Chains A and B, each alone.
Chain A
Amino acid sequence: MTDSLIKIEGLYKLFGRTPAKHMGLVKQGLSKDEILKKTGHTLGLKDINLDIKRSEIYVIMGLSGSGKSTLIRHFNRLIDPTEGKVVVEGQDIMTLNDAELREFRRKKMSMVFQRFGLLPHKTVVENVAFGLKVRGIGKEERQQKATQWLADVGLKGYEDQYPSQLSGGQQQRVGLARALCTDAEILLMDEAFSALDPLIRSEMQDQLIELQEKLHKTIIFITHDLDEALRIGDRIAILRDGELIQVGAPADILLHPADDYVEKFVRDVNRARALSVDTVMKPAKFRISAETVGEALKEMRTSKHEYAYNVTGDGYQGALALDQLEELDKSEYGELLTDEHYYDSDVNVEPDAVIEEVIPETLDQEYPIPVVDEEGKLQGELSRDTIAEVLSPQPEAGEGEETEKTG
């Protein structure tokens, strides 16, 4: 998961008749509008640097005109940059000649398109097998493989239909199957789900995530929809006017937007649904180690905590509230601590849960709720205040420690 597969270094794209001549102006830092006015050239991309790791879903997000579709076309050189490098597995693909580039496109990368890009005169199975046909693989073998992939994307039985007979969602599944059928390691998805209606779109997102768990491809996904980006992305790069604004994990982007532009995006996101507990929980600091009620009371009184997490040699036991213990009769102080003493005995919050799911439990409790992982280990705590802070509509714009800032 950590080794870098694709690197883009200092990529510039200037559209026009003589782009190379005007690169000086771009480097001087003139704005897109100024360059257009002076030279009649459109600045598509400006100093893009990306580092994409093997097996991650890397989302490039931006509004229309931000250059995201231009950027993705540089990965397989459907568009050539004016300047810069695209390095895949240590090889600069800008140095490939035509034949090598064809070979590269056939074996290394495949692509899914917004408007599907299917061949209308070929059947579904022939469309899926297209990449193999181009490579010169025999009819029987490619039909067999294509049939298999069609089944994997849920289109078994549609082999001999034509694309025009399928719905939009089904057509895009064909597009996806075609991309997977070449066994290319890298998948480029250019607004692949944007043309679909919302219900089908989320269905396709689920399917992509599901497939990715099996296949571990490296996926570069373009979208204009932040919700989609947050949902499927391992990392997100935000593009505006051809410049990279911020790169980071979904939670980083949400919690530490790099500037006003990103913040404006982030504001409309349903954070409760987009963030998981572990991205916002605080460390569980107040810990005691007690066997009986009396021991617990004593420890909590000395440390002056109103609540504490009991962690003994056997691991995490439960959360205790001082006022609840003090209500008990002194005669019970000798008793061993049991579920009825812990205030969290009927709550269970796991670190990877989505905040939305745990809101009711958190709001019910006066005290913070412990976050406990699958193995029963105490990971942190989640309080009402934390949730209120995270969900408040206008977060503070600031730079998080883990957020790489670019541009």
Chain B
Amino acid sequence: MSWITEFPQLSRSELLTVRKTLDEAYREFSRSHGEAIENFFDPLLAFLVWIENLLISTPWWLVIAIILAITHFAARSLKLTIGVGISLFLIGFFGMWEDTMSTLSIITVCTILSIVLGVPIGIAMAKSNRIQAIVTPILDVMQTMPAFVYLIPVVMLLGIGKIPGVIAVVIYAIPPVIRLTNLGIRLVDKEVLEAADAYGVTSWQRLWNVQLPLAMPNIMAGVNQTIMMALAMVVIASMIGVKGLGQPVLQSITNQYFTQGLLNGSAIVVLAIIFDRVSQAYAKRSQRHMGGRHD
């Protein structure tokens, strides 16, 4: 009757066996398949390195000019463009240009990857209640599981470096874009869908001409969230060898360099604000006709 006073638990040795077996099995798996998986991600790595090199080797003033041009065309706001220009200049002025470019490159790649993977998953979820029932709990786990925990298997499998970093960031950042794509498509006005059906659309035409454009405000909100979360993940990703603004932050935590931490942290904030404002302004501008029904 010991279970009344004490919690019935596995004995120490049993737990050890469980842990050992699982760890062994996974280690075995990564030993035998690690290389194949690594090869699988090679193109991604090449792309990542290419973007990073491109950003770093391009003269700083040209990079700023290009970012300003993108800002201008997306947002059409002089105030925003000037603000972005000044912020970028200050980042470089305080000696963080190269790290910022590394971070920018990894964020860009992660965002692209999240959209490319997330939007189709979101579409599939919106199409089928069963897929939604399967994917939703997975997303819940991805969002609540401490990031360090899933860093472990990724590192065991792929070692330390850029690719595991990207994977960790994508796992952390992809849920919003999936959720909001799903939500956006499910919220599309039923009568508009019915109208499209009444005119004989194929399911592809319905998706492309009606569902995606009408879900776009929500999808854009998801992308925006994804970018923000990817930026937040930069520091944690630097623990497994991702270069960029995260590394100096990590360094200042361990060495108590307050100013260095503050500067690099601010640079992350600046990047986040730039991404956020530019993508919001673009979304608002491209959807100005969608709002408010006229009665």
Whether A and B are associated in the same complex: the answer reads yes
Q: Is the CB of B199 within 8 A of A121?
A: no
Query: CA separation between A76 and B195, bound complex, in Å?
Result: 11
Nearest CB of A to B200, in Å: 4
Shortest beta-carbon distance from A17 to chain B in Å:
14
Return chain B residues, CB-CB under 8 Å to A163: 289, 294
Chain A interface extent, by class: 35 or more
Report the minimal beta-carbon distance from B206 to chain A, rounded to whole angstroms: 9
Which residues of chain A have C-beta atoms less than 8 A from B189's C-beta? 115, 117
CB–CB B287/A121 < 8 A: yes
> With a CB–CB cut-off of 8 A, which chain A residues contact B289?
120-121, 162-165
Q: Which residues of B contact A188 (CB under 8 A)?
A: 198
Inter-chain contact B200/A134, CB cutoff 8 Å: yes
* Distance in Å: Cβ of A183 to nearest Cβ of chain B: 12
Q: Which residues of A contact B (CB under 8 A)?
A: 76, 78, 101-106, 109-111, 113-121, 130-131, 133-135, 162-168, 171, 178, 182, 188, 195
A162 CB contacts on chain B under 8 angstroms: 289
Q: Which of A104, A117, A167, A171 contacts B200 (CB 8 A)?
A: A104
Q: Name B214's contact: one of A104, A113, A121 (CB within 8 Å).
A: A121
Q: Apart from A119-B214, A164-B292, A166-B294, what 8 extra A-B contacts exist at CB < 8 Å?
A: A101-B200, A105-B198, A119-B210, A120-B214, A130-B209, A133-B209, A134-B200, A135-B200
CA of A21 to CA of B171 in the docked complex: distance in angstroms?
Answer: 47
Task: Flag if A167 contacts B198 (CB, 8 Å).
Answer: no
Chain B residues, Cβ within 8 Å of A102: 200-202
The answer to whether A134 and B201 touch across the interface, beta carbons within 8 angstroms, is yes
How far, in angstroms, from A102 to B198 measured CA to CA in the complex? 8
CB neighbours of B290 from chain A (8 A): 120-121, 164
B191 adjacent to A103 (CB under 8 Å) = no
B192 lies within 8 A of chain A by Cβ: yes
Contacts A119-B209, A120-B290, A164-B290; is A78 near B200 (CB within 8 Å)? no
Q: Are B192 and A117 in contact (CB under 8 A)?
A: yes
29 contacts between A and B (CB under 8 A): A78-B197, A102-B200, A102-B201, A104-B200, A105-B199, A105-B200, A111-B195, A113-B191, A113-B194, A115-B189, A115-B191, A116-B191, A117-B189, A117-B191, A117-B192, A117-B195, A119-B209, A120-B214, A120-B289, A120-B290, A121-B289, A134-B196, A134-B201, A164-B289, A165-B294, A167-B294, A171-B294, A178-B199, A195-B295
Q: Tell me the residues in window 134-193 of chain B with beta carbons closer than 8 Å to chain A beta carbons.
A: 189, 191-192
Tell yes or no: B291 within 8 A of A by CB.
yes
Ranked nearest first, the 10 interchain pairs of A and B with the lowest CB-CB distance are A117-B195, A106-B200, A105-B200, A162-B289, A111-B198, A102-B200, A117-B191, A131-B199, A121-B213, A120-B290
